Structure 1
């Protein structure tokens, strides 16, 4: 949980006060090494608070005379991260976009809570593989392991704040970082355990396994846009809807898209009955609608019925427009449709379209980002095998949410064929048009015509499907 920090921090800057100012104004300054664009944008929830342009030394400064205290996030496209601010804060940020999260350091008032939050963010990423190995354990063993890890983090937090003037709100935010990430594991456990242990039914759990649920707050406005809290709610309502349906819906169809529709109807009903906070309600309704659409891949009468229900419950016009756009994108990714008009850049800096890349070839477009190092290694190994099995296919990598310099550097470092690698600068357009809900997504096309717009680089090329997917 300890990272090596720079021995000398910000000597080129004015020193940042370690004590909170008597003024209510907030000063948030920083420097970005290897910037990927000219601006830093500060948000409270989903609303822009202010933006600051980098100067000639890549420094930025916000002077905020009146803020809504609490959790914010700052965006330096294509990356973003959280920052907790209270009135009178004077905060300094330093980061290098070549390792955005790993290099991020806060200095000044409230540095303790902000550095702790980024440490926890990195820690949970590192724990991912370890937790996967726990899912095969019995409920009692799993519960003990997760609780032990959580207690270690709580102790780390308590050691960090000894003698520090940390507000109750700042402490609550740090605890939320620990608690909700840990609770996510428990919500996932019955489903991941069934898969990892090859059990035919979900394992029975003692009533104490979910003890934490009695303390849940479904209407914490401060956490409505905090990813651990939001992701916990997604997993929690998924768990509740499945268990409720398993116990009460004997007529549920056992598989296929109708099952998916049925479960998502349960989710919407549960959210509607338990969540009152508007932002969290709308965010969760959006998640259910997006999850449903991204998993069905086809649009039929049931789809319209479900989305009509979503439109009646959601009070967020932006989310409603997003779902309409998602409808359109799904329709445009159907088999035999022409590839969308997406532009990427090659290693020489030239702009090219996906259509031009796929002409006269069966082309598999796959995606990667520099920040997901484990995925990058896994997909690289996977491609080595696929290229042997499918010598008549070309496999084209499109890098997303990665600075152009870092992308070019990684291509050389990893010895990748630069003719097969492209940089996707407009992440939002590529994601929304090609519906990239996870980095395992791939799009298969031939002569610029879509063969499969919803393929998976790890699952769509198994031996049983090779013959169907191979295009001569």
Structure 2
């Protein structure tokens, strides 16, 4: 019974508080327990439509006089989730940020579809675990049989929902695509996961009809661009096609991805040839660029890549962001000066990175209070390294942490105040130092970079 009380309350609140609207308007509101931000932001694709500040009861509301039917997503930093909206809708949500997705409940118009999409999302996490624990080890025919059974069960549930709720064509299309592309993605990555689960070097031959679903792939569907299963499928699909294409045409077989520049040039060309919808193409191009540039730091190879990228996608909606990443990596190569970035000391004064690394050897590492396990492991590793490498200063730079909490954590772990600083401008820090992956560290000597892409856990640090 307790499970239905929030829904009943939400319906009551909608009835009492929803303003009068016309048939074209949309009302979207809700209550957030244990909020982690003051705002909820509603997005359509990559565009933020509006933000709403929580009131004294942690409630928010949006009203739009005219919006297009389709998939939206709302952000309550640092979390986000879908909401499907149609003209005339009144939709209410309630959630507890301690269990964001698991506690989320939709009520009002289109509640059936929104709760169904959420249920699929939560169940897919369990299916993903099943893939790794059991199914990827199966041979091709058995694997196809198992996941087809799982896919059909979900499609049958959708048909039952559609019969009861009479979904619109767009709503039904999105729900069906959410199911289909989830399982199609499993088939795209299966050959590589199967090889990995058996610890073999070569890919196994597949049944002739293994990829039969590819005949029905829609590469240009505007309604699906920001549907996570569809986009994740497209990334895996393009990677698979690129690998196989390169294996056959370049004769590299298992060694295809050893040359990341060559492989990613293939991927750019395949995306360009298959995808016509510009926003989807731009997003896929961005994904390739970021994956490549964040993993490959050779100046000459990166120059070849970015020149090809600009030729193929010079009008990409993300081009400035990609060029900033490229320039950031180029500017922190060995023998370059550490960028002139200010950080905040434990005494609340601004200090520059060059001044912290002048006339000494320094290892800069990074941490955030948002991940306790990560920073505790980092701190343990730093204490090991301090004993092993006493000729180095180890300087921690914190970000995304409230100042008092940051100082409390530093004091708890007994670090010298002169070894801990906080980002003054996170965007500048991330752009100029390329904060990826989280275990990265930057080694400097006399304020000059030795290695800007080292790893705090590397044995030869």
Q: TM-score, normalised by structure 2?
A: 0.80
Alignment of structure 1 residues 15-414 onto 2, 5 Å: 15-16=13-14, 23-133=23-133, 134-250=135-251, 254=255, 259-300=259-300, 302-314=301-313, 316=315, 318-335=317-334, 337=336, 355=353, 363=363, 365=365, 391-392=387-388
Question: 1:62-102 CA distances to partner (integer Å, 9 max, x unpaired)?
Answer: 11111011011222333322211100100112233333333
- CA displacement at 1:449 relative to structure 2: 6.1
**8 A Cα contact 1:73 1:80, kept in partner:** yes
Distance (Å, rounded) in 2 between the aligned partners of 1:116 and 1:253: 41
Distance (Å, rounded) in 1 between the aligned partners of 2:310 and 2:32: 41
Distance (Å, rounded) in 2 between the aligned partners of 1:165 and 1:267: 40
Distance (Å, rounded) in 2 between the aligned partners of 1:198 and 1:357: 49
**8 A Cα contact 2:91 2:108, kept in partner:** yes
Q: Bigger relative contact order, structure 1 or 2, given CA contacts below 8 A and separation 6+?
A: 1
Unaligned runs of 5+ in 1: none
Residues 1:356 and 1:56: Cα distance change in structure 2 (over 3 Å): farther
**8 A Cα contact 1:67 1:87, kept in partner:** yes
**8 A Cα contact 1:275 1:281, kept in partner:** yes
Residues 1:43 and 1:315: Cα distance change in structure 2 (over 3 Å): farther
Distance (Å, rounded) in 2 between the aligned partners of 1:351 and 1:166: 58
**8 A Cα contact 1:28 1:92, kept in partner:** yes
Question: 1:192-233 CA distances to partner (integer Å, 9 max, x unpaired)?
Answer: 222221212111111222121111000111111222211211
Distance (Å, rounded) in 1 between the aligned partners of 2:94 and 2:354: 41
Residues 1:329 and 1:92: Cα distance change in structure 2 (over 3 Å): same
Query: Which deviates more, 17-26 or 108-117?
Result: 17-26
Distance (Å, rounded) in 2 between the aligned partners of 1:5 and 1:336: 61
**8 A Cα contact 2:333 2:449, kept in partner:** yes
Distance (Å, rounded) in 1 between the aligned partners of 2:142 and 2:368: 35
**8 A Cα contact 1:30 1:93, kept in partner:** yes
Two-structure CA RMSD over aligned residues (Å): 4.1
Q: TM-score, normalised by structure 1?
A: 0.78
**Matched positions, count:** 445
Residues 1:269 and 1:253: Cα distance change in structure 2 (over 3 Å): same
Distance (Å, rounded) in 1 between the aligned partners of 2:397 and 2:124: 27
**8 A Cα contact 1:282 1:315, kept in partner:** no
Bigger Rg, structure 1 or 2: 2
Unaligned runs of 5+ in 2: none
Secondary structure at the residue paired with 1:16?
A: helix
Distance (Å, rounded) in 1 between the aligned partners of 2:347 and 2:34: 18
Query: Which deviates more, 93-102 or 356-365?
Result: 356-365
Question: 1:153-193 CA distances to partner (integer Å, 9 max, x unpaired)?
Answer: 33443454552232222122122222222222211111222
Distance (Å, rounded) in 2 between the aligned partners of 1:404 and 1:102: 27
Does the alignment pair 1:445 with 2:431? no
**8 A Cα contact 1:52 1:62, kept in partner:** yes
- CA displacement at 1:452 relative to structure 2: 3.9
Residues 1:266 and 1:227: Cα distance change in structure 2 (over 3 Å): same
